[in-house]
Amino acid sequence: MKRKEIIRRAAALTLSAALLTVGAAGCGNADTSSTAAQGTETAAGDETQLDAAADADTADAGEAESNATDEAAFDAEENTIRFALEAGTIRTAVVILAKQLGYYEEEGVNVEIVDNNDNTATLTAISSGKKDVDVLGTGIVPDLTFIANGSDLVIFEGTAAEGGAIISRPEDTEKFKDLKNYEGATAALVRNESGWIVTRQALLDAGYDVDSIQLLEVDSRANVAQAVAKGEADIGFFPEEFVGQFADLNIEEVMPVAELQPLYVCCRQVTSSDKLAQKHDAFVKYTKANLRAFKYFSDEANRQEIDKLLADFSGQTEEYVDNYFFVNSTTLTLDPNKSGIETYYKALENTGYFEDGTDVDVADHIDTEVYKAALDQIVSEYPYDEFYQQQLTIFEQYN
């Protein structure tokens, strides 16, 4: 029997008892009508209170059921994105900030940070459809290598752009600002250094003999600096954050590689085509939250809080974070940059990186729809926001 029906029957019994009392009192009490009225009012009041309590209980149960349903929907697999991140790294700062600031939850998407100990293993897991990881947001070269080898990966968003530096000894910096002087030079680098790949393509486009450049491959950025400082190499390539770190070795920056190709692609965000289709709405929410975090990052007023949030998350010092992003000016970007990816892919082909050749059209592995959908939503909500309008202009230029 339902709770509400039980309550009503109990109230009815109370009313009956009250009337019997009135009848019994009528044999010897002149004020029987007053007593009956009071009994009736009491019973009616009890029934009203009990009905109200029952309604409140029903409402509470409904709200609890609704909350449970909402929570289940939030945690559902199709609404969950697992982002792979190497411990201690902060290059994917936008994702970290979106998580720390609660933007993912506000946009209604469940984002989990999972360990990435090996890019190759993570990309293999993503491409094979494993549920424990959905997105990797670091190196472009591994992404494109998998794609060239036939993997069904899709690049849908950016992480960082530019960031490479060309170095030489102080007396040679002016000389190597002119690309023609690279012919016959020796260049020190770690294998697959993105700055060199972009520079090589710029040399080819300018008609210079890239085969005359001798490459000295070393196993660390420290050894790149050492090779240049000792005269074993004329120029070197590594990320800009290392320029200041090794300044005491008698090296200087010739120029940022970005002077040769502005906003050249570096780290991208990649998933599989199946995951992108199955979790499309979640990816749009995820990207919208990322855009909000990117705006937060871009506001100088938030610099100290950004240093603290990223330091707390990564275990690095606040000084390290500040130097990484604000002193060495690591360039973050969420724009997919389709044209930049195609250019970079071509540059890799021209270096002979894909040894067996490839007939893959990289354009088939670039998705711009998810990013544009998220951007359109946020521009619609904030039509006069200069930051989001700027992102829209960038998208139209590079995609």
3-state SS string over the chain?
Answer: CCHHHHHHHHHHHHHHHHHHHHHHHCCCCCCHHHHHHHHHHHHHHHHHHHHHHHHHHHHHHHHHHHHHHHHHHHHCHHHEEEEEECCCCCCCHHHHHHHHCCHHHHHCCEEEEEECCCHHHHHHHHHCCCCCCCEECCCHHHHHHHHHCCCCEEEEEECEECCEEEEECHHHCCHHHCHHHHCCCEEEEECCCHHHHHHHHHHHHCCCCHHHCEEEEECCHHHHHHHHHCCCCCEEEEECHHHHHCHHHCCEEEEEHHHCCCCCECCEEEEEHHHHHHCHHHHHHHHHHHHHHHHHHHCHHHHHHHHHHHHHHHCCCHHHHHHHHHHCCCEECCCCCHHHHHHHHHHHHHCCCCCCCCCCCHHHHECCHHHHHHHHHHHHHCCCCHHHHHHHHHHHHHC
Angle at alpha carbon of residue 47, lines to 45 and 51, rounded to 5°: 120
pLDDT in tens, the chain (399 residues): 433 333 333 333 333 333 323 333 333 333 434 444 444 445 455 555 555 555 656 555 555 555 555 666 777 999 999 999 999 989 999 999 999 999 999 999 999 999 998 899 999 999 999 999 999 998 898 899 999 999 999 999 999 999 899 999 999 999 999 999 999 999 999 987 889 999 999 999 999 999 999 999 999 999 999 999 999 999 999 988 788 888 899 999 999 999 998 889 989 999 999 999 999 999 999 999 999 999 999 999 999 999 999 999 999 999 999 988 998 778 899 999 999 999 999 888 888 888 776 789 999 999 999 999 999 999 999 999 999 999 999 999 999
pLDDT tens string 233-285: 999 999 887 888 888 999 999 999 999 988 899 899 999 999 999 999 999 99
Q: Return d(Cα 392, Cα 133) in angstroms, integer.
A: 29
Q: Are the beta carbons of 244 and 328 closer than 8 angstroms?
A: yes
